[in-house]
Amino acid sequence: MARKLFVGGLPYRTTGDELRDAFAQAGEVASASIVTERETGRSRGFGFVEMATDEAAQNAITMWNGKEFEGRTLTVSEARPKAA
């Protein structure tokens, strides 16, 4: 399983640090980022978290997929490769 996870359904006010802290409950986080609009810098409501190990990634999916985070239900899955 890939270690990079897609996280959808994020509240628009969530920061990268808050995302990292939440996913650290499942294991070591290598990186966490929120995707923003280029023009406004506003969150697009999703991001990516890279877990340090496959086990931590699976734990994070189990822990957060379908669960509530700051009033919104998250979708957490293995990230798909970028389209060419």
**CATH number of the domain encompassing residue 34:** 3.30.70.330
pTM of the model as a whole:
0.91
**Rounded to the nearest 5°, which phi and psi values hold at 32?**
-150, 135
Collapse the DSSP code of 56 into the 3-class scheme (helix H, G, I; strand E, B; otherwise coil) and give the result. Answer: helix
Domain range for 30 is 4-78
pLDDT tens for 14-33 read 999 999 999 999 999 999 99
- Position of tokens 């379908």? 66
In a domain, 40, yes or no: yes
Number of domains in the chain: 1
Q: How many CB atoms lie within 10 A of CB 25?
A: 11
Q: What is the pLDDT of residue 1?
A: 47
In a domain, 37, yes or no: yes
- Please compute the mean of the pLDDT values over residues 40-66 and round it to a whole number: 96
CA-to-CA dists, residue 64 to 37, 41, 82, angstroms: 24, 26, 23
